[in-house]
A and B are shown apart, each in its own frame.
Chain A
Amino acid sequence: MKVYFFLGKGGVGKTTISAAFGTGLSKNGHKVIVVSIDPAHNLGDAFDTTLSNRELKINENLYAVEVDIEKMTREYLDDLSKKMQHTYRYLTAMNLDRYFNILKLSPGIEEYATLEAIRKYIGSKNFDTVIFDTPPTGITLRVLAMPRLSVLWSERLISMRKAILSRRKMVENVKGKVEAEVEGEKIVLTSDEKEDEIMQELIKYREEMLELNKLFSSTSCEVHIVTMAEELALLETERILKSLSIFSITAKVIYLNKFMKIENPPEEIAGKIHEQEQVVTEMREKFKHLFIKEVPLLRASPRGIRDLLSVYESYIVR
């Protein structure tokens, strides 16, 4: 399984480039799915069709889906709420239920749902290539950083849980099983790691995140940065690469989209063309380990398989 993430600021053309990339790979015989995890979807526009939360076959070997992050978040919280009603019998007595409502507004819930969507498609056996069209850089970097952070947190919490269980065991050795009374109901508390649900959940989550982290930093995962040949974009690209390297994720390709190739430019845009040339030279010097590809500003936005394939063959595969 090969996984590609297309990263970049809003409006630089991530969707078009990722759709073109997916179209090209599918023509080469790969079974590809292009997954939009950007809440402001426009992948359907690039393929010139209507996409939804369900995988849609666009062409031979090519599928696409626009993940409904909001719906996923709602589903997680509903599921959580059901589990809570089952376990927290005294929930209403403590007025905690109203606090759980704020979880849907909690920072990180969207990133969590996005990460779960990524996990879902990476784990899919139906495709050999998954391409993610991502939300603007900031959110995506937080999502990509999440597995590593989660591993660190779960490790700390696991060792803390071990301390709790070992003390429970000490008490148990002297006084027998530790019991707790919650709202008049007696619960026997376990000191066994295998029986402790919190410990098991923490271990399971750590394993899942370790696996994801391993994949993100492996050669099976490639980050492609879509940007424009402008000074600010160059600075942003540097920041993206720095953030990615902290999490051991390596970028492979930079696409300079909407590149203006004009011989004898009119005076009004001569400055812009000059800036573009400078940025390209600087980028080629600074990012020697990356492929830098120029995708020119096209007469019309590419829409549909034919246009996208033409973009792939003319500018991406070269």
Chain B
Amino acid sequence: MKLFERIRKFFIGVESGMRETSVSLIERELEEYENIFSLLTMGIFAGIPSPPTGIVIRILPYMQREVSVMMKKTKDLSDAFGDTAGMFDIT
């Protein structure tokens, strides 16, 4: 019985580890999406062609999260390789 319990816990551990990895990948993907979304809508600040001004003006007040992601991404740009390596657990 003890052995079975250990095997069960082992598989639960493996499953939770795998889940953690896949969720962190989704989180990274989510951040990338948020970053692209803000670059698309607020690219005007960086000279990227922007959507019609009407859209920008309407959503600008609610973009704080996206702006903070964009700022963070911009800071990390100097270490883009390290950033990508970290995503795939390459050390």
Contacts and interface: CB of A to CB of B under 8 A. Distances in A.
Nearest to A182: B68
Given A153-B55, A171-B26, A175-B23, A201 B65 contact: no
Interface of A: 76, 80, 83-84, 86-88, 90, 94, 96, 99, 102-103, 106-109, 111-112, 115-116, 146, 149-150, 153-154, 157, 160-161, 163-164, 167-168, 170-171, 174-175, 180, 182, 187, 189, 197-198, 201-202, 204-205, 209
B83 interface: no
Contacts of A154: 51, 55
Given A170-B26, A174-B19, A175-B23, A157 B37 contact: yes
19 contacts: A84-B60, A87-B64, A88-B67, A90-B68, A94-B67, A109-B53, A111-B53, A112-B52, A146-B52, A149-B52, A150-B55, A154-B51, A157-B40, A164-B37, A182-B68, A187-B64, A187-B65, A202-B59, A205-B54
Contact of A167 (B30, B52, B60): B30
Nearest to A108: B53
Contacts of B54: 108, 112, 115-116, 146, 150, 205, 209
Contacts of B36: 160
Interface of B: 19, 23, 26-27, 29-30, 33-34, 36-37, 40-41, 44-45, 51-55, 57-68, 71
Q: Would you call the interface of chain B mostly helix, strand, loop, or mixed? A: helix
Contact of A164 (B33, B60, B68): B33
Given A87-B64, A94-B71, A205 B51 contact: no
A112 B60 CA distance: 15
A87 B61 contact: yes
Nearest to A115: B54
B52 A189 contact: no
Q: Which 5 A-B pairs have the closest CB atoms?
A: A108-B53, A83-B61, A153-B51, A197-B62, A167-B30
Given A106-B53, A157-B37, A164-B34, 15 more contacts: A80-B57, A84-B60, A87-B64, A103-B44, A160-B33, A160-B36, A164-B33, A170-B23, A170-B26, A171-B27, A171-B30, A174-B23, A180-B65, A198-B63, A202-B55
Contacts of A87: 61-62, 64
A182 B57 contact: no
